[in-house]
Structure 1
Amino acid sequence: METTAALNLRKSANANSKVVLTIPRGSLLSPLQRATNGWYKVKYKSRTGWVSHKFVVTLEQAPSQKFDVHRGHNRTNRVILTYDDCPLNLKGYKSVLDYAAGRNIGLVIAPTGNCLKKFKKKYGVDIAEMARAKGQWIISHTATHPDMRALSCAAGAKELTRGGIATNVGRPPYGAINDNVRCAFKKAHMSIWTWTRTTRDMDVKSKKITISRAAAAGRGETVLMHMHWYGFSPNSIAQIRDRLGKKKVNLCRAYRGADGHGAIKKTPLNLPKSLPC
């Protein structure tokens, strides 16, 4: 369940009841009970109370909403940094995962199938599983990074599913979408998640510009970068986080379960309709 506005958590199921605290818009709640007047008893962080049904959407209701492929599975007011393709080496990849987990940052990582094979062959490790163990989200980015618009529906679906990532979300290379691509994703039982903002890091080849463009993101945005360019490092992520923080914009948090508390947990293979950022 997610709040659609800043919402008061109250002691009982009515608008005149004492306010326990105010919950920010885009927060995830754990529903416990529903009253006859429609109000929900929920758990938010360590507190329990009642909220009006008029300002929340349940996960059961979410599919009826129009799905935005650009915002994808980030329906919160937090920015999520996403990284495509393949890291340069294992040491650098591990440093990013360790930094993100240590600072409670949740990333979306979209490696190609060829990348997974490369790291398994060279280092004997599954980089997708490494990321998931650190509370990070993994989505499919095809096996060989083709322009899927030129592929048949069946060939596109095969590209999505044979890359070694069994999940329900994928990103088409270049963000290129037509009817063939939509058909392929439907056949593969995946939703499409692109981005709302790209840094164009592969074109500018500049750490300074990449950081500046990522830090220009507003609430709820999905930012595209690549693992083999300058945005994928602890220092770059730290600078992006600090600059966003000055605007009172937060990054998505590492996965700690639906309530966002406790120890970091391994992310599920299938992404929820709204990440618990």
Structure 2
Amino acid sequence: MKESIPEITLNDGLTLPAIGFGTYKLNGNHGATGITSAIDVGYRLIDTAYNYENEGTVGEAIRRSTIPRNELRITSKLPGRYQEYEKAVTAIQESLYRANLDYYDLYLIHWPNPKQGHFVEAWQALIDAKKWGLIRSIGVCNFLPEHLEQLEKETGVKPSINQIELHPFFNQEEQRRWHEQNNIKTESWSPLARVNDILDNETITQIANQHNKSVSQIILRWHYQLGSIPIPKSSSPERQRENLTIFDFELDETEMAMMAELTRPDGRINDQDPATYEEF
């Protein structure tokens, strides 16, 4: 399975699989079993965060797996309450201790928290942690173009990736275009929208029937053709395999246009606008 997953190269040279595995709310032994299963069926990009409180679970899944650590790409994220420089450095170290890892392949600032105004010093902490060998590649989540521009202006270092809310009901066309123009890769959180009505959507179901694929496979293939890296979550091995099987077909221009019509101005799931939302 692994050989069939294309790889994407970030602006700093690190390669990532074109699809990853999300771990939000996968905790404890149940979570470790589900994540180990995901690795066993072929996922090599595993996404966690300090605030998910499951970095230790991810570390346990890695230890249970037979896949060598250097074949995996493990992501974690800095929480909003630790964006001051010294706190950020300590939090990165704590993230590693929790997972019992020597390094993270990718470490992200989880939200910009613009009201606090500490995201630039948090970014400097990530820059230094990369120099110290604790992180291989550094990026952000939920940053708007003005936040991204400020990071580069004040530190001279551009993020390799921006993980954003992205799904058919909120396709982030302008943000994605900005990323592409500035050589920053897009990663999609909540790629299947976490809302039930998307799985019953008439347009996506019609496309799925045309290709003899599931609605989830159509949505994940759509992400791939947009140039974004989706990180779906499932604890079911069958569903995990299904979500990986998206590279043996292609959506045509008409189908991509049909998908584009599904986006909504108010499409955010929890109304988490990065311009105002503050993560603890």
Same fold (TM over 0.5): no
Q: TM range, normalised to the smaller chain?
A: 0.3 to 0.5
Q: Which has the higher helix share?
A: 2
Could you tell me the TM-score, scaled by structure 1's length?
0.43
